Amino acid sequence: MSSVKVRVKVDVEEWMVNPNEVLLQEAPFIFVDKIVTVSDEEIICLKHLAHNEPYFKGHFPKNPILPGVLMVEMAAQASLILTTYKQNKFKFNEDSDSKQEGYLVKTNNFTFYNKAKPGDSLKIRVRLTQNTGNYYTASALISFADSNGRVAKGELVFYLPSKEETKNVN
C-alpha cells in the first residue's frame, strides 16, 4: 500500500505530512501509512496490512501473520516521526533536511497479544517517556484500529545523532 499525504491535526494548526518525507526508509520498508495525530509527547499512526504485503508470503504461507519484529519497526518509525516533529514541528525549508537519522538501540518488554493478519488495520500509539541527551525512551502500544484490541506493547530506546555527527559521517 502506498503512502498518501494526509492532513494531520496538530494542536490548532494543520500540516500536510507524508511519512515518506520524514523517514529515511523507502518502500517496501515503510511501516507507517498515515499520521493521525502528533504532539510533542505522543503520536498516533495507522498501518493497513494489505493482502499482498511481501512478508506475508513466507510468514506463514498457509496462515499469514505479521512478524513481531515488524511491529517493533512500526513503533520505531512512529517514534522517529514523533521526535522529528518535536524538534522542528515539521517546518522544513530548502536548507533543512526533513529526514532525521535515528537508531534503535534497545527494546524492553515487548509483548505480543494477538495475531495481526492480512486485511487488518493497526493503530500505533507512541509516547515519549524520557530524553537524556540524544537518547530517547518511548512506550508503544499497537492495537487493532477498529476494536482497540491490543496487538503488542513495549518500550523502545533509540539514539538520534546530532546534525554535526551526521555531517561528519557522510
Q: Quick one: pLDDT at residue 22?
A: 84
Spot the catalytic one: 5, 48, 59, 99.
59
For the chain, the domains span 6-169
Q: Is residue 51 annotated as a catalytic residue, yes or no?
A: no
Tens digits of residue pLDDT in 68-111? 999 999 999 999 999 988 887 666 444 456 677 899 999 999 99
Dihedral of CA 47/53/57/61: which sign?
Answer: positive
Choose the CATH number for 6-169 among 3.90.180.10, 3.90.1150.10, 3.10.129.10, 1.10.600.10: 3.10.129.10
